[in-house]
């Protein structure tokens, strides 16, 4: 028999999503289980033109592309004829379809007949999270004829959680602005002494730091062909492409970190290239698409492993340093626990201790800190 989550566990999950945006999918699934929802979507859309972004739960992600290709521009629940009046009277509420428009009008709409009905969505409940300018953020939960319309007890259950959802979303947006890619990950990559690339699963280069740009310019080991990261050595071209494709697989169960050696022209020693999966979902709830972090290590550099440096700086135990190193290599917490032969609960306890010692609050912050210290000589003074 499936155990029902306690109110405390639900709140922990909601506020956990504030600092780990990928958990918003789990939040939606929890809400759906509470009120019999069969599908959920978290959206941020412009109330005038319908443009925006979305994260879907229990559905095909291609539905999001279909929605924004056309149906976002005719969604009667998202668009408003008089934005000024709407903004002036806007309140954070939990709304049913019929609170917004009569059922008869809804059933005559193109949005209902051509988009929702093929998805077997007959009834909807919307949870308003915030309105910033013209951008409206909501969680919408839908279900078909099997459950019927949402009733008052189900609305009341969502209203009890509504203040927490609003706070968590606001915190999530604030953390994103403080630690998002442009001010966090990119900065960490740019400060890194080793060559670092952020690429798509097809090796298209999204970002390259200074060392990476210099490596490409030399053309002795890696090159950019039509904007894609490629090995200069013919024998390494396909292995590198396979390495990146595996780390950037659309199937998260198949994604894995790995490394290979790439020959450098005129040198006996090769470079070590590591490709690690990167969850853009951990940067922003609305980020989509796989990405891969590629690090290039030169054995002639002679620097100590970043885990060792972090241990010296923050007095981590050997086990904590190993866990941090695994996360830095792109492993999930569960994969790291399997690598080191410990339980997931032990891994969580170690990670909590690492967070406390390094004064970080999530894995993205820890990885950024490690990137900042990677390449630094070990044995330096501990921070005061």
Phi first, then psi: give them for residue 303, nearest 5 degrees. -85, 155
Question: In the predicted model, is pLDDT for residue 184 greater than 90?
Answer: no
Q: pLDDT over 70 for what percent of the chain?
A: 83
User: What pLDDT is attached to residue 259?
Assistant: 85
- The answer to whether the beta carbons of residues 243 and 330 sit under 8 Å apart is no
Q: In this model, does residue 382 exceed pLDDT 80?
A: no
Give the separation between CA 307 and CA 320, rounded to whole angstroms: 9
Confidence of residue 381 (pLDDT cuts 50, 70, 90): very low
Q: Which segment, 75-84, 111-120, 189-198, 362-371, is predicted with the most confidence on average?
A: 111-120
Which domains, ranges and CATH numbers included, belong to the chain? Answer: 7-178 (3.30.450.80), 189-300 (3.30.450.20), 303-384 (1.10.10.10)
Query: What is the average pLDDT score of the chain?
Result: 83
Helix (H, G, I), strand (E, B) or coil at 215: helix
* CB contact at 8 A, 17 and 172: yes
208 in Cβ contact with 196 (< 8 Å): yes
292-301 tens-digit pLDDT: 888 887 765 5
Instruction: Return contacts of 8-16, CB within 8 angstroms, 24+ apart.
Output: 10/34, 10/161, 11/161, 11/164, 14/161, 14/164, 14/165, 14/168, 15/164, 15/167, 15/168, 15/171
**What is the arithmetic mean of pLDDT over 146-154?**
92
Q: Return the bridge partners of 136, or none.
A: 45, 131
What is the structure's pLDDT at 232? 93
Supply the pLDDT for residue 306. Answer: 67
Sign, CA dihedral 344-164-76-33, equals positive
Which residue is it, tokens 């620097």? 303
Q: Where are the beta strands (DSSP E) in the chain?
A: 39-46, 52-57, 94-96, 123-132, 135-143, 195-199, 205-208, 222-225, 228-231, 258-262, 271-278, 291-297
- The tokens for 227 are 């904007």
Q: How far is C-alpha 180 from the chain's CA centre?
A: 10
Distance CA 265, CA 252 (A): 35
Kindly write down the DSSP assignment for every residue of 47-100, as one continuous string: TTT--EEEEEESS-THHHHHHHHTGGGT-TTT--S-HHHHHHH----EEEHHHH
325-345 pLDDT per residue, tens? 888 877 888 888 888 888 888
Q: What is the pTM of this model?
A: 0.53
Q: Is the pLDDT of residue 213 over 80?
A: yes
């Amino acid at each position: 028999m499936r155990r029902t989550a306690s109110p405390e566990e639900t709140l922990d999950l909601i506020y956990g999503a504030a600092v780990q945006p990928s958990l918003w999918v789990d939040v939606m699934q929890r809400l759906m289980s509470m009120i019999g929802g069969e599908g959920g979507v978290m959206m941020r859309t412009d109330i005038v033109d319908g443009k925006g972004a979305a994260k879907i739960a229990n559905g095909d992600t291609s539905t999001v592309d279909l929605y924004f290709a056309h149906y976002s521009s005719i969604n009667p629940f998202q668009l408003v004829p008089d934005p000024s009046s709407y903004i002036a009277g806007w309140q954070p509420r939990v709304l049913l379809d019929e609170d917004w428009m009569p059922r008869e009008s809804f059933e005559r709409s193109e949005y209902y007949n051509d988009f929702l009905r093929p998805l077997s969505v007959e009834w909807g409940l919307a949870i308003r999270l915030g309105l910033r300018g013209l951008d409206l953020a909501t969680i919408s939960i839908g279900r078909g004829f099997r459950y019927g319309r949402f009733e008052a007890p189900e609305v009341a259950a969502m209203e009890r959680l509504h203040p927490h959802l609003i706070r968590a979303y606001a915190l999530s947006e604030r953390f994103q602005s403080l630690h998002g890619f442009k001010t966090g990950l990119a900065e960490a990559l740019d400060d890194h002494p080793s060559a670092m690339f952020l690429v798509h699963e097809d090796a298209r280069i999204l970002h390259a730091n200074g060392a990476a740009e210099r490596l490409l310019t030399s053309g002795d080991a890696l090159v950019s062909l039509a904007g894609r990261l490629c090995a200069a050595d013919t024998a390494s071209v396909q292995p590198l492409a396979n390495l990146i494709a595996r780390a950037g697989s659309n199937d998260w169960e198949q994604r894995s970190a790995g490394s290979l050696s790439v020959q450098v022209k005129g040198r006996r020693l090769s470079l070590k290239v590591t490709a690690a999966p990167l969850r853009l979902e951990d940067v922003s709830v609305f980020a989509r698409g796989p990405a891969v972090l590629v690090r290039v290590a030169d054995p002639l550099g002679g620097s100590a492993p970043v885990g060792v440096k972090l241990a010296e700086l923050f007095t981590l135990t050997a086990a904590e340093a190993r866990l941090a190193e695994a996360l830095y290599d792109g492993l999930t917490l569960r994969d790291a626990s399997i690598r080191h032969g410990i339980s997931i609960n032990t891994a969580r306890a170690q990670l909590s201790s690492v967070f406390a010692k390094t004064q970080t609050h999530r894995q993205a912050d820890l990885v950024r800190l490690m990137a900042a210290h990677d390449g630094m000589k070990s044995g330096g003074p501990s921070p005061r």
